[in-house]
Structure 1
Amino acid sequence: MHRSRAAARSSSKAPSESSTSSSPERAADDDTDFFAQANDSQSSIGVGTFREQIGSNEPDIIIPPIGRLPPEILISVFSKLSSPSDMLHCMLVSRKWAANCVGILWHRPSCNRTENLRSVVTSVGKSESFFPYSELIRRLNLASLASKITDGELSAFTQCKRIERLTLTNCSKLTDKGVSDLVEGNRHLQALDVSELHALTDNFFRSVTALLSTLRNMRELRLAQCVEIDDSSFLRLPPHSLFESLRALDLTACEQIRDDAIERITDAAPRLRHLVLNKCRFITDRAVLAICKLGKNLHLVHLGHCSNITDAAVSQLVKSCNRIRYIDLACCNLLTDASVQQLATLPKLKRIGLVKCQAITDWSILALARSRALPHSVSPSCLERVHLSYCVNLTMEGIHALLNFCPRLTHLSLTGVQAFLHEDLTAFCRDAPPEFTQQQREVFCVFSGEGVMRLRDYLNRNVGPFPSETEATMYDDEDELDEEENQVTGLMSAAAIRDDDDDDMGESVIEVGPPTG
């Protein structure tokens, strides 16, 4: 037994060590040495040869604990780095670090500047590179260079076959062919944003709707201001096709869309959660009744400027889709207090837009302040943001009640509401945007954050607290919150589905070329 152990120790120091050894320590040692040279372009063959020349009398190199960390821990640490330059420096430590860091760095490459885009395109286009960069890109956002992106720049990414999120917002120089060639090569696509690509024609939408049959992972489709899209783009979908994964659809300002298309969409995508139809001016109550089929799946619906909608449709929407958290009905001039009183019964309603709904009165605001879907509920309203600009019939009484009965309120817009255009009240408003004209500044009245609290306190001191109907005003920590409620975005912006991190807007940018060596 003693000889056996001695032989084993002698064998471990033999000069015939191979880079293919199954020893965990040796593999880690090899990885650690690769980028540790003064000249990081030195080949790994040279390092191995140098090790063999040392001879069996040299002791083994002691690997520090950080060199023995498993990949999952390294990846977890690297993913916490916010600076791309820090991540790039980590890649230069060793092959092991590089292998576990490169996927994070190239997951969403930086294309926010022309030089960054050129670097990314060059790296992706190299036939011989240390890593297969084209296979690492999962999210591609070219919106920062929208005015410079052409079909030529886009064609450089056609070899990227694993893109999951593609954002081409406002890339106005792109044509049907450029976008279609890239989309058709990515069967794992989960989100596509081609908003404001006015040059796209029905040929592109025909190919996209055809692709929907194969893109079973598609969760988010944004076609805002694609003015050429019409009902036929959706009516040509196969009769019994279902897109169970689709959660968000944005058709803002697609004015050729009518009721027939909405009926087909809700049949084909029964699990839609966010539906944006802002400025689809020709849809009527029939489209809203089709939306009712989404039932409890619907969390956000934007119907601003859909001026043909009536109280009857809104009432049915509330009954069928009682999990709505966000609804915008701006400029729906046919709506009256009856609609808002129904909307007030939504138990999870957090944001509501009623801008320029000029028929509503204080009865609507009192309903929002007091009404609860569950009888005898002791929890206050869930409302966080209320947009009431240019609702000219509102008075101090209704807004005062809203402030006192909605303790979670963080945003209240009352632009153009005469009852609040007084210096003692506008003192709590936020500043008007710098691009506003003098006339716009004079009627601007938006309270947010601390401004809402200060307005509430001021009114309670000077007007007296509005009489309550219940003694219970305590915040209910047990109130059910949906797991995806944080996905709801600002009132006038489209909502997005975020599976992991996405707030997709404001993506971090990454500047990196292929590692040398």
Structure 2
Amino acid sequence: MKSVWEVSSMAIMDLTVPSIGAELEEIDLSNCRKVSDSTITRLIGWVIPSDSYGGFPGGESKGAPVVVGCAKLRKISLSYCKHITDRSLYHMAMFAADRIESLDLTRCTTITDHGFSFWNFRPFSALRHLCLADCTFLTDKAIMTIAATAKGLESLVLSFCCALTDFAVEVLALGCPRLRVLEMQYCGSAVSDMSLAAVAHHLHELVRLSVRGCVRVTAPGVRAFVAVSQSILYLDITQCHNVIERIVAPRENLFIKQ
């Protein structure tokens, strides 16, 4: 449903009818301008316990719990859905933390660190891919929560998250040891030689790293990184203006884009 501008929030909610929603596992609502928190709440759904409607005083509850929404939904793309707020992050934490595998929040500029603080309620044990590109208001606090609650992350995109610092990268390196892909293009002052050192020493499964346009990265830092990291296969250092000389890859299976 990518870029379907005129579809209303109510029409999207209709996907939760049992004949469709019961088996829906993946949805792409990128650039759907009318998507709101209510849309996401209904899609993710919730569970009504059996005793909420079928119980009798002094007796056993009758019936099974009622599942509302798409109980199997595990991959969600909400890029450029600018009406999504911290309320959606709260609902994900409460009702889908154990099943969301992929989440794209590119350019969802109204989400904040406070929204990610709700993730502390329950671990996002299934989450493997998270894209936060262009979420310019997120700070190290959000990254600290992600590193603490989504330790199984394998792919993380933080491009244009300019409010981050070196500390955020160090926290990720320690908290998400299974990262294989890390993209931090144009992160302002967030990435430096110190960040590269932390990544090299702790992310032993990392195969792809992009620090394109990160002006604090220098040639000595890059050389030290490729010397230490034995897993890296692709490194993008284009537009890193302090990397002047050509960096020679120490291994044949390592491609350095510069």
Same fold, TM exceeding 0.5? yes
1:224 is aligned to: 79
Matched, 1:176 2:1: no
1:317 is aligned to: 172
Q: Does the aligned pair in 1 maintain the 2:15–2:43 contact within 8 Å? A: no
Residue 329 (structure 1) shift = 1.1
Residue 394 (structure 1) shift = 0.7
Looking at CA atoms only, which structure, 1 or 2, has the larger radius of gyration?
A: 1
SS at match of 2:194: helix
2:245 is aligned to: 396
TM-score of the two chains, using structure 2 as the length reference: 0.82
Residue 175 (structure 1) shift = 1.3
Equivalent position amino acid for 1:180 in 2: M
Matched, 1:246 2:100: yes
Residue 208 (structure 1) shift = 2.8
2:223 is aligned to: 366
- Change over 3 Å in CA distance of 1:225–1:299 after alignment to 2: same
- Change over 3 Å in CA distance of 1:179–1:242 after alignment to 2: closer
Q: Does the aligned pair in 2 maintain the 1:294–1:321 contact within 8 Å? A: no
Q: Does the aligned pair in 1 maintain the 2:132–2:158 contact within 8 Å? A: yes
- Change over 3 Å in CA distance of 1:364–1:239 after alignment to 2: closer
Structure 1: which 5+ residue stretches go unaligned? Answer: 1-167, 373-380, 415-517
1:193 is aligned to: 28
| C-alpha RMSD of the superposition | 2.2
Alignment match of 2:257 (pick from 413, 417, 432): 413
Q: Does the aligned pair in 2 maintain the 1:270–1:293 contact within 8 Å? A: no
Q: Does the aligned pair in 2 maintain the 1:285–1:313 contact within 8 Å? A: yes
Matching of residues 45-124 of structure 1 within 5 Å: none
More helix by share: 1
- Change over 3 Å in CA distance of 1:394–1:299 after alignment to 2: same
Structure 2: which 5+ residue stretches go unaligned? Answer: 48-66
Residue 387 (structure 1) shift = 1.6
1:286 is aligned to: 141
- Change over 3 Å in CA distance of 1:267–1:409 after alignment to 2: farther
- Change over 3 Å in CA distance of 1:241–1:370 after alignment to 2: same
Residue 238 (structure 1) shift = 8.5
Equivalent position amino acid for 1:204 in 2: T
1:91 is aligned to: none
2:163 is aligned to: 308
Alignment match of 2:154 (pick from 299, 307, 313): 299
Q: Distance in 2 between matches of 1:241 and 1:233?
A: 11
SS at match of 2:108: coil
- Change over 3 Å in CA distance of 1:408–1:357 after alignment to 2: same
Matched, 1:256 2:110: yes
Q: Does the aligned pair in 2 maintain the 1:216–1:243 contact within 8 Å? A: no
SS at match of 1:297: coil
Q: Does the aligned pair in 1 maintain the 2:136–2:161 contact within 8 Å? A: yes
Q: Distance in 2 between matches of 1:279 and 1:264?
A: 21
Residue 290 (structure 1) shift = 0.4
Q: Distance in 1 between matches of 2:149 and 2:156?
A: 11
More strand by share: 2
* Structure 1 residues 19-41: Cα deviation after superposition (integer angstroms, max 9, x where no partner): xxxxxxxxxxxxxxxxxxxxxxx
1:234 is aligned to: 89
Q: Distance in 1 between matches of 2:177 and 2:252?
A: 22
Q: Distance in 2 between matches of 1:250 and 1:238?
A: 13
Identity of aligned residues (%): 24
Equivalent position amino acid for 1:390 in 2: Q
Residue 306 (structure 1) shift = 0.9
